[in-house]
Amino acid sequence: MERGPPKTNLNYWRPKLKANIERDIKTENKLDEEGWKVLTLWECELEANNNWKIRLKHFLGDKVFDE
């Protein structure tokens, strides 16, 4: 089930979603600076198909993934 952008209460959702995106970018940049690798998987990706398995396998470098 894929969800689109909110259709109601936009005065609440627009700033909230913008702040979430900014926070996520800042957090990912900080983790990157500290030497961490970051992979973001969205819930909708997990439900829609199995492409997340390919992304995870690529991210881990084929070392720790067994189908």
Instruction: Tell whether 41 is covered by a domain.
Output: yes
The answer on pLDDT for 11 being more than 70 is: yes
The answer to whether the CB of 59 falls within 8 A of the CB of 39 is: yes
**Which domain does 16 fall in, by range?**
10-60
Counted domains in the chain: 1
Instruction: Tell whether 1 is covered by a domain.
Output: no
The answer to whether the CB of 44 falls within 8 A of the CB of 2 is: yes
Q: What is the pLDDT of residues 31-59, one digit of tens each?
A: 999 999 999 888 877 876 778 888 888 89
Put simply, whether the predicted model's pTM sits higher than 0.85 gets the answer no
